[in-house]
A and B are shown apart, each in its own frame.
Chain A
Amino acid sequence: MSIACESKQLCTFTLANQYFGIDAQLVQEVIRYQEMTDVPLAPSCIHGLINLRGQIVTALDLRTRFGMPPRTEDRQPMNIVIRTDDGPVSLLVDKIGDVVTVEQEDFESPPETTRPAIRKLLLGAYKLSNQLLLVINTPAIVSLPSDNI
């Protein structure tokens, strides 16, 4: 994910009231929550498998991935299906936001004080006028540490 260009578009979403973004170019589609087949013995952040028009897509719960408390039962997550080198992966998020255009000059790497485990999942933050927009590091998010399995 290149951060060299002047401005770029991010697809935004929220997780536990925090504002996140992902490079819009990586997003294949956004779909409503669907019933999933859970995978016993799998790492906790793997929420299940969905059938996306005949393609089987693994859904990762970003709340679990970021070590956040699980969402309450009544709230159904959304799927952001992203393209990766190993086929599409779905990321479960609380709510989908707008696509926003951000400027490179507002970008900053994640501060040293963030927990290391979390920091490597983030590329950095855009300082928007009203809040911070955290950009997730998709390759890091979709590759699960093998000792988890």
Chain B
Amino acid sequence: MSFEDTELIKEFVVESQEHLSDVEEKLLAMEEQGDNIDVSVVNTVFRAVHSIKGAAGFMGLNTLEKLAHRGEEVLNKLRSKEIRPTSDVINALLRATDRIKFLLDSIETSNELDISDQLKMLGEILDCEEPSSLSQSFDGGAKQLPETQRKALDIQLSEEALREFLEECIENTDQLEQDLLAIEEHCDDDTIINRIFRSIHTIKGSSGFVGYTELESLAHAAEDLLVLIRDGKLQFHKSMSHVLLKCIDVIRSMIKALESKDSSLALDGMELIASLRLLQQEKPAPRNKPLGPSDLASEHHTPTASPETEIEKGEIPMVTSIVPTVSSASSVPVLPSSSKSDAVATQNKAVPDTNLQESSIRVDVSILDKLMTCVGELVLARNQILQHSNRSSDGGLQASAQRLNIITSELQEHVMKTRMQPIGNVWSKFPRLVRDLAVICGKQVRIEMEGKETELDKTIIEAVKDPLTHLVRNTVDHGIETPQARIQKGKSPEGCLYLRAYHEGGLVNIEIADDGSGLDLDRIRAKALERNLVSPDVLAKMSDRDVAQLIFVPGFSTAEKVSNVSGRGVGMDVVKTNIEKIGGSVDLQTQRHIGTTIRIKIPLTLAIIPAIIVLDNQRRYAIPQVNLVELVRLEGHDEVQKVEWIQGAPVYRLRGKLLPLVFLNEALRTGASETNANLESLNIVVLKAEDRQFGLVVDRIIDSEEIVVKPLSKQLKGLTAYSGTTIMGDGKVALILDVIGLAKSSSVLSSNPETNGVEMQDKNSNNGSNSQTLLVVDVNESERCAIPLSQITRLEKLDPRRIEVSNHQEVIQYRNCILPLMRLDRVLGTGGSYREDTEIDVIVYTTDERSVGLVVHQVVDITETVVKVEKKSTQIGRTGSMILLDQVTELLDLPGLLSLAN
């Protein structure tokens, strides 16, 4: 059969990969445990490798078998504590696992591949030991356990391992049953016999490891019979399948007993073992087929010639111990026992099932994708129905539409969940990666993870895999110092890499933090200049935070020497681009000698996203909300006139900062719309594209909606202004704007980092320590004050007629509370007048749950400026005087001022 049964091989590969998935982690755990090695961990690994060995053997995958076998031998010695899990041993095992994975990946050619290196490494470990020690190998294993079933149920297995074992057994018994029924039809079908053999063999092997000897001996007896059949020494006939089917019943009952921890459910397998042995003594039947080469290859698996030395040897005494019973019971026919098992079987049915086999199933990803598409359609249909029902006065329709709405949302949520995978799937390879890197770099690194179970859509998991790997590499290579350097700094020699994932506000946050050296900002500055990434002027004005962000600029690498780990200058910018491609963002915080934290925020899914719908030139467009910063509406002719022009480029002063404007009708060349200079209002959608913000001017902002993203057709792929299409509630198609593409085509963004630098400088002057946003108010007709905006809670316009007096204090009812009022002129002792007829401007200041309203003559403006106090004041509540908007202005300190007034 060998490669004829590709389906079987495929299944084997998938299964083996699954087995191997957590082997690495377990090996690393073993290394950590050192002398206190946890036998159950070793057993798990052993079992995985053993299953691979067994299956590979009978499929004729000799290379794979050989390697797995060697690995198994080493593991066995580990289990029996003959060798210690030193770094060398674990290394060899890790290499072997890698190679096995590689062999599995290229299974067709696996027999021709070279495994000599790995064999040698494992062999060296084995050679260090006395060969005689093999015989004692069962000192530490599960085999020590007495052979009674009750004890078997008490095995100290982790819940997970037990569950895994049970699941596997259930799968195998189901398969067995099917195959046995099939073989009754086609007695000499090799593939089926092989499959039966394999299932039984797996059950035997794994029950051996968990120490369930009853089960093991039964499976073993069945296996022996099957070996004879497979090798053509016995002809298969109905009575055999009958006995074998009985075996399955008993095995099932044993599994059930183990599952429910109730040993009374288990049937006795002794009689069956006897029947099986009896069958083996039948006369060999001539086989109508000559032995094929693959049959020879699998010859290893007959117990006598088996290389699975330990297990087989271990079984022999046990089997022989059964033999006396067998011979005495050999006359017992099979059938009487069946009545007993039938009775128990019916009894079993009465037991409420907590069936393992039904708790999870494997589903093809393409089916999930299709489901997702269907749900997308359903969401659209729902949106349409909702629109209709809102217009209709039919109460019944509205009620059912509402119900449809709820069900659809629920369905959407659940279908999305089916595609969710825990981030731990990606993280699981990091401990190994970190360990290997640490060894190469001569560092000691510990990895800690939090929030492994945080779930993300499959496609997003795929997309973040590479960026995350890169960041982890970078951290170990550059972030964490050598042990010596760490000791010098007074830190523990072992560095810590900390991964954390959590949900927040519909986004997933992933943090990669270390307690390493932090970024060397001076070196980044020097490197940025050397690489001409920014001009010296710009650099001088950049804040530390902005300097740190420079590492995301293409072509930047500060690694002094290019190691084979990282530092080729194509790292961080790619990370950033990839994360941004899926609508995420990357943020970096660093503190010299303390550590670095990189925070990635990514959306949960890409298929259905929240968006705002805008109208421009009678066309609707969707803008993903991840790009949205805020919406600004300029009302009235005067406001619209505040749009200024720099060399033909429109800009708007948004809180003192220049916001470049892009008119959507111009960017898309849809011709002049109503957006003209003599317009009454202007809608600005403030968007962020990479590090920059810009205002997109549209005719109207319609609504926000959940939209289903559909890809652009091939003919439109070249258009950078759009990222996709969607169907609106009324069934019409709308384009989804690609904010970054739009920014680039409108030259808001350029690939030249110099301009980015200018932007950073701009930001810096705003965020810098001495720059503040000030509220400028008139105290009376002639005097002017300024208050830092950060100290103000709210600005209100209130009707002076609502002012009441209570306990000689002016108060006003404000948001269902009593707000005490103070007149700024009186507090300052300047005197002034208030218009009693129009609304008054009140500055609300809140501290410790208490609010105070400060009545001012008039609010003049909000301005952002570098505060340069000309005449410092010594009075509490007053910072000093300065020139602001061409007028001498007194800068006030609100908390100080009000504490004075109280």
Contact = CB atoms under 8 A, between A and B. Distances in A.
Contacts of B377: 54
Contacts of A48: 733
Given A42-B719, A46-B716, A56-B710, A51 B735 contact: no
A96 interface: no
B732 A51 contact: yes
Contacts of A37: 619-620, 732-735
Interface string A5-37: 000000000000000000000000000000111
B735 A39 contact: yes
A50 interface: yes
Given A51-B732, A54-B380, A58-B715, A41 B727 contact: no
A116 interface: no
B718 interface: yes
A142 B725 contact: no
Interface string B697-733: 0000000000000100111101101100101000111
B713 A58 contact: yes
B721 A51 contact: no
Contacts of B727: 51, 54, 56
A93 interface: no
Contact of A86 (B713, B722, B731): B713
B670 interface: yes
A41 B713 contact: no
A111 interface: no
Interface string B537-552: 0000000000000000
Given A56-B727, A58-B713, A86-B713, A41 B619 contact: no
A39 B619 CA distance: 9
Most interface-central of B668, B670, B714, B731 (chain A CB within 10 A): B714
A40 interface: yes
B349 interface: no
B715 A41 contact: no
B370 interface: no
Contacts of B719: 39, 41-42, 149
B340 interface: no
A41 B733 contact: no
Given A35-B732, A51-B727, A54-B380, A40 B669 contact: yes
A42 B619 contact: no
A149 to B, nearest CB: 3
A89 B716 CA distance: 12
A144 B377 CA distance: 29
B684 to A, nearest CB: 20
B859 to A, nearest CB: 42
A60 interface: yes
A41 B717 CA distance: 12
A51 B731 contact: yes
Most interface-central of B722, B725, B727, B733 (chain A CB within 10 A): B733
Interface in A36-87: 36-43, 46, 48-51, 54, 56-58, 60, 86-87
Interface in B656-698: 668-670
Contacts of A42: 715-716, 719
Contacts of A54: 377, 380, 727
A87 to B, nearest CB: 7
A43 B718 CA distance: 10
A48 B715 CA distance: 11
A41 B710 contact: no
Contacts of B710: 56
A130 interface: no
Contact of B718 (A35, A36, A149): A149
Nearest to A86: B714
A57 B716 CA distance: 11
B715 to A, nearest CB: 5
A41 B715 CA distance: 12
Contacts of A86: 713-714
A50 B718 contact: no
A113 interface: no
A51 B719 CA distance: 20
Contact of A146 (B718, B721, B735): B718
A39 B377 CA distance: 22
A87 B711 CA distance: 11
Given A40-B619, A41-B719, A51-B731, A87 B380 contact: no
A111 B732 CA distance: 43
B215 to A, nearest CB: 53
A21 B714 CA distance: 24
Contact of B716 (A51, A58, A143): A58
Nearest to A45: B715
A35 B721 CA distance: 22
A51 B668 contact: no
Given A51-B731, A142-B715, A56 B669 contact: no
Contacts of B620: 37
Nearest to B670: A40
Contacts of B725: 49, 56
B623 to A, nearest CB: 15
Nearest to B710: A56
Contacts of A50: 733
A89 B714 CA distance: 10
B274 to A, nearest CB: 64
Nearest to A57: B713
Interface in B361-401: 377, 380
Contacts of A87: 713-714
Interface string A131-149: 0000000000011101001
A49 B736 CA distance: 13
B718 A56 contact: no
A48 B719 CA distance: 14
Contact of B715 (A35, A38, A40, A89): A89
Contacts of A51: 727, 731-733
A31 B20 CA distance: 54
A89 B732 CA distance: 17
A146 B734 CA distance: 23
B14 to A, nearest CB: 30
A37 B620 CA distance: 9
Contact of A41 (B721, B732, B734): B721
Given A51-B727, A51-B732, A54-B727, A39 B670 contact: no
A5 B341 CA distance: 67
Nearest to B664: A40
Nearest to B671: A40
A81 to B, nearest CB: 13
Interface in B711-769: 713-716, 718-719, 721-722, 725, 727, 731-735
A109 to B, nearest CB: 27
A86 B581 CA distance: 23
A117 to B, nearest CB: 17
Nearest to A87: B713
Nearest to B718: A149
A149 B719 CA distance: 7
Interface in B200-255: none
Interface string B607-622: 0000000000001100
Contacts of A60: 715
A60 B713 CA distance: 12
Contact of A89 (B619, B669, B713, B734): B713
A43 to B, nearest CB: 8
B812 to A, nearest CB: 52
Closest 9 CB pairs of A and B: A149-B718, A40-B668, A37-B733, A58-B713, A49-B733, A86-B714, A54-B377, A40-B670, A56-B725
20 contacts: A35-B732, A36-B733, A38-B619, A40-B619, A40-B670, A40-B721, A42-B715, A42-B716, A46-B715, A49-B725, A51-B732, A56-B725, A57-B713, A58-B715, A87-B713, A89-B713, A143-B714, A143-B715, A144-B715, A146-B718
Given A42-B716, A86-B714, A149-B719, 14 more contacts: A37-B733, A37-B734, A39-B719, A40-B669, A41-B721, A48-B733, A49-B713, A50-B733, A56-B713, A56-B733, A86-B713, A89-B715, A142-B714, A142-B715
